[in-house]
Structure 1
Amino acid sequence: MSGEADELMRAAVLHAVDVHGHTDDAQLRESLRAGLRDEPVADTEPGAFIQLIEFSTERIDEVETLTAEWAEAIGADRTARWALLAADRDRPNTYLEIVEFPGYAEAMTNSAHPATARFAERLGKLCDGEARFVNLDVRATARL
């Protein structure tokens, strides 16, 4: 199950009490809380489309703020399912963003959105040089 921690806790307590006969007490709640886990971020499957964006900047905090502003601006029109931002340990001020979409068509819909166009223009001004894009079709996945 996924959701807010409080919602999950209520559902788990109700289940434990109604189905298994437990008592709703601090020990039950502590035990259930210990079992909560974050949903995996990168849950990709064959047929998905991934875009890698490599860029350099000395203004990464501004890039992260810009990304949050883009997410708010695009709202429900967003077709990206998840994104990951990583810093290159071997090259200072170099970053890689990995963005996953259900498929290529959804990625192109996202790219054509006015909020994405504004994001790309503003990102270019924050970067040192041009970003490098790599477009990938997911062929296989494996849990390791």
Structure 2
Amino acid sequence: MAFVQIVDCKTSRIDDMNRLMDAWVTQTQGKRTATHAIVGTDRADNAHVVEIVEFPSYEEAERNSHLPETDRIFHEMVALCDEPPVFTDLDVVRDEQLNKAAVTRLFEQISAGNLDVILDLCAADYHDHDQANAIDTVGAEGFRRECAGYRAGFPDFAFTIETQLADGDQVATRWTWRATNTGEYNGMPATGRAVEATGTTTFRMADGKIAEGWWNWDNLGVMRQLGIIDV
């Protein structure tokens, strides 16, 4: 079970607090067990500072607290505070990464043939960059039509999410795409052949919607498997 520690303090020396955090990150390199750390200031009171540190488990947090570097930095942090900091220890019972959840739903629903989900999850002015296309697709409706074209040529196509990483407003997904070409696609008659491709898509989120996407995938390999090219 993941574990989060919240440190709540009052200080007017936020720059010194940030330098202290930099020092701790450097000095504990290769030894610390913390996986994520955030320092924030209260918009209503700039002297109110909250630090949030995430660990894989409470036991890993205990290991981290016993590092001499952590102990030293802690005492320096207390010296920067106007009053003793308050600690809150939390066992994480739910961790919902909303951007990843939206992207996962997009892949799953497109695979299920529910292409209207694109209009729900993507911004109206969604901008799609696909290295297989000569011209970018702009607009959620345009992206839906493009996916419908693939669905017509490959009615059973489905994505399998292999790995997924989120960083800020972007979500990167490495996937495998499998399908059978039983319908006409781009003016080409059906071949009846099964195809498989791997690729990576990075989506940018804005205001809770998927706003932009970059697709890099083995379209050349798909054409080879279909017998369209022989290279």
What is the alpha-carbon distance in structure 2 between the residues aligned to residue 142 and residue 68 of structure 1? 28
After superposition, give the CA deviation of every residue in 1:56-115 in whole Å (9 maximum; x if it has no partner).
111110110011111111110010001111111122311111100000000000001100
Question: Within 5 A, what are the aligned runs for 1:21-32?
Answer: none
Which residue of 130, 135, 138 corresponds with 2:84? Answer: 130
How many residues of Structure 1 are paired with residues of Structure 2 in the alignment? 98
1:68 is matched with 22
Structure 1: runs of 5+ lacking an equivalent: 1-46
- Which secondary structure state, in structure 1, belongs to the residue aligned with residue 79 of structure 2? helix
Q: Which has the higher contact order (CA 8 A, sep 6+)?
A: 1
**TM-score computed with the length of structure 2 as normaliser:** 0.41
Q: Give runs of ≥4 in structure 1 deviating > 4 Å.
A: none
Question: Within 5 A, what are the aligned runs for 1:52-63?
Answer: 52-63=6-17
1:50 aligns with 2:4: yes
1:87 is matched with 41
What is the alpha-carbon distance in structure 1 between the residues aligned to residue 39 and residue 32 of structure 2? 17
Identity across aligned pairs (percent)? Answer: 38
2:182 is matched with none
- Which secondary structure state, in structure 2, belongs to the residue aligned with residue 72 of structure 1? helix
After superposition, give the CA deviation of every residue in 1:37-60 in whole Å (9 maximum; x if it has no partner).
xxxxxxxxxx10000011111111
**TM-score computed with the length of structure 1 as normaliser:** 0.66
1:140 is matched with 94
> Between Structure 1 and Structure 2, which shows a larger proportion of strand residues?
2
What is the alpha-carbon distance in structure 2 between the residues aligned to residue 56 and residue 109 of structure 1? 27
What is the alpha-carbon distance in structure 2 between the residues aligned to residue 102 and residue 54 of structure 1? 21
Structure 2 counterpart of 1:118, one-letter code: R
- Which secondary structure state, in structure 2, belongs to the residue aligned with residue 77 of structure 1? coil
> Between Structure 1 and Structure 2, which shows a larger proportion of helix residues?
1
Which residue of 114, 120, 133 corresponds with 2:68? Answer: 114
After superposition, give the CA deviation of every residue in 1:4-53 in whole Å (9 maximum; x if it has no partner).
xxxxxxxxxxxxxxxxxxxxxxxxxxxxxxxxxxxxxxxxxxx1000001
- TM-superposed CA distance for 1:116, in Å, is 0.5
What is the alpha-carbon distance in structure 2 between the residues aligned to residue 79 and residue 141 of structure 1? 19
Give 1 or 2 for the bigger CA radius of gyration. Answer: 2
- Which secondary structure state, in structure 1, belongs to the residue aligned with residue 45 of structure 2? coil
